[in-house]
Amino acid sequence: MRKPIIAGNWKMNKTRDEALQFIYSVNMKLPNKALVDSVICAQAPVLRDLVKRQGDNLRIGAQTMHYLDQGAYTGEISAALLENIGVEYVIIGHSERRAYYNETDDAINKKLHQAFRYNITPILCVGESLATREAGTTNKFVKEQLVAALKGLGSEQVKSMVIAYEPIWAIGTGKTATAEMANETISHIRQVVKELYGDESASVVRIQYGGSVKPANIEELLAQSDIDGALIGGASLNEEDFLFMANAAVKK
């Protein structure tokens, strides 16, 4: 009953020409939007070009944005501009932003509120480091991230957002969490949503897995009970791989 969502996170990759080439070759072959949400999150300067060419079954997302409406914040991107150019999703709290750009739990919380103010669907990323996984405190850590990020949000907002569980040790490393391991932590995330917002929100919110997802492991991941899709970095750069993974979600 939860519609799968396959999102590509291109990170700092692709020129405008490469991005357009990708869109032209995938947008007629993506699964029907009634069955699967397919999203590409690209660098800010190409977002408008991609929105114009997204077609019926693809939607475009940003990789970050600021939490204030406007002002003297050199280099930042406002939610107002994203909404204005037709961007429908935004990744919030990716571990690379947390690690390299000091994105704090408090900023992430404010960004979620801001995304909702501008009708942009946030994809909130949470996930533990290898040290946390090895210390056996993953569930506690992820719960703390969630509680901090979701502070003050209403249940309707939580139902409409997307959460991506991305263990940091699995991102770009070729090491995927086993499907069972991913499902276990994602079930825990759903449980935390249940504690905070009740049964209905927990059963509606979509939770993706991310971290070295590729055509070879997408089916096994999607076969898990609580995994509603994937946030895909490296493998989303390739047209055929992205199509394969979006189409694999139809069977979910």
Span near ligand PGA by CB under 6 A; candidates 114-122, 133-141, 148-156, 233-241: 233-241
Q: 113 catalytic, yes or no?
A: no
User: For ligand PGA, which residue of 50, 114, 234, 245 counts as binding (CB under 6 A)?
Assistant: 234
Under the criterion CB under 6 A, does residue 212 sit at the interface with ligand PGA? yes
Residue 166 among the catalytic residues:
yes
- Binding string, residues 153-192; x marks residues near ligand PGA by CB under 6 A: -------------x----xx--------------------
What is the C-alpha to C-alpha distance for residues 47 and 31, in angstroms, rounded to an integer?
A: 21
Q: List the structure tokens of 58.
A: 């693809």
- What number of other Cβ atoms are within 10 A of residue 80's Cβ? 16
Exactly one of 96, 103, 128, 166 is catalytic; which is it? 166
- Could you give the angle at the alpha carbon of 58 between the alpha carbons of 52 and 59, nearest 5°? 70
- Residue nearer to ligand PGA on the CB measure, 81 or 246: 246
> Which SS3 state, helix, strand or coil, does residue 153 take?
coil
- 210 vs 229, beta carbon nearer ligand PGA: 210
Minimal distance, residue 46 CB to ligand PGA, in Å? 18
**Phi/psi of residue 210, nearest 5 degrees:** -140, 145
**236 conformational bin, left if phi > 0, alpha if psi -120 to 50, beta if neither:** alpha
Cβ within 8 Å of residue 103, ≥6 positions away: 64, 93, 97
Shortest Cβ distance from residue 246 to ligand PGA (Å)? 14
| Residues that are catalytic | 94, 166
State the residues that interact with ligand PGA by CB under 6 A: 9, 166, 171-172, 210-213, 231-235
